[in-house]
Structure 1
Amino acid sequence: MNRISDPTAIQIGDEADWSREVPTTSWDPGRKLLRAIRRYQYWRGRKGLVAALARKYATLRHRFWSVMCGADIPLTCCIGGGLLIPHPNGIVIHPDVTIGVNCLIFQQTTLGIRDPYVGAPHIGSFVDIGAGAKILGPVTIGKRAKIGANAVVLNDVAPNATAKGVH
């Protein structure tokens, strides 16, 4: 599998705005879900009893916030810093998807595969993905691209381009 396992590896030349992921209120499910994922990933590479307990706690928090959000974002996916999911309901992300820094993903979005042997999408940095969009297969979404609401993306999208409808 040639997947990037370190989220910092996709930040080359791009600065992540980590303040976008800080919960702003006590009830901020999207940001709390991301925080649980980040905590798990922080403790994943460490050994010892404290790390094992911290991973279990982060996994429980991830499950709780996944249910509260109705989102399916795996603990092991590669997400660049500064991801913003203001309405996380119905977001589905395949474990092999890579997402660049400072992206915006709205509700009911699917980032997945079409064929299990072909590959998953790679989302560049600063990409905005509208509500209900589906990005499927081994496609690359260029830096600063915009994906319209309810778009179905099956081909690459150039940097700074906009995809709407079936692309």
Structure 2
Amino acid sequence: MVESVNIQTISATEPDWNREKCERWWEPNRQLLKSIRNYQKWRVTGGIVGGFLCRWNVLLHRFWSVVTGADIPLNCQLGGGLIILHPNGIVIHPGAFIGPNCLILQQVTIVEGVKIGGHVDIGAGAKIIRPVTIGDHAKIGANAVVICDVPAGATAVGVPAKIISLPSSGK
């Protein structure tokens, strides 16, 4: 007898903010994201209180950046629901765009002009070194060097990265 399994699909458009929620204080990966989110929120709010809280979040960001060993600037464009399990060595250029509900593992480099769609998984050590577009639900393998666009739902691996699987058309 085969049981049906309820597989929850992750949206490529609607951020799941629970993925970033801190369960306890010592979660450096989530605290780093929290400091970035709060800085951006207070920067828009402005005023005396906003200015003070911006500065406070700059200090928190610097602390958590040292703890995690990540280089994720305060002004980067990160979609909601981002998961960074092991942020050590992650470098994201502020000119890159990362969509909602993505997963980024350690030692990933993302350069200027990169556009990453929603729910993209990027394996450890991957380098995205040219301004490319990565489609929704794509997967980038560990240590892949991406120098060309990756279509939605595809998997790219290798140096340089090659597409090894495309999504089925459902026919």
Q: Same fold by TM (over 0.5)?
A: yes
- Displacement of 1:52 in angstroms is 0.6
Question: What is the distance in 2 between the residues matched to 1:25 and 1:50?
Answer: 26
Q: 1:160 aligns with which of 128, 153, 156?
A: 153
Mapped pair 1:123 → 2:122: no
- Deviating 4+ runs (over 2 angstroms): none
**Per-residue deviation, residues 29-78 of structure 1 (Å, max 9, x unmatched):** 11000000000000112221101100000100000000000000000000
Distance 2:97 2:127 in 1: 15
Query: TM-score with structure 1 length normalisation?
Result: 0.87
What percentage of residue pairs aligned between the two structures are identical? 58
Q: What is the number of residues matched between the two proteins?
A: 150
Deviates more, 1:22-31 or 1:48-57: 22-31
Which residue does 1:149 correspond to in 2? 142
Task: List gaps (5 residues or longer) in structure 2.
Answer: 1-11, 162-171
Partner of 1:27: 26
**Residue 56 of structure 1 aligns with which residue?**
55
Give the aligned residue type for 1:22: K
Paired with 2:143 and 2:22, the residues of 1 have a C-alpha distance of: 27
Superposition TM-score, scaled by structure 2 size: 0.85
Segments of 5+ residues of structure 1 without an aligned counterpart are 1-12, 114-119
Matching residue's letter, 1:125? G
One-letter amino acid matched to 1:137 = R
Root-mean-square deviation (CA, aligned residues, Å) is 1.3
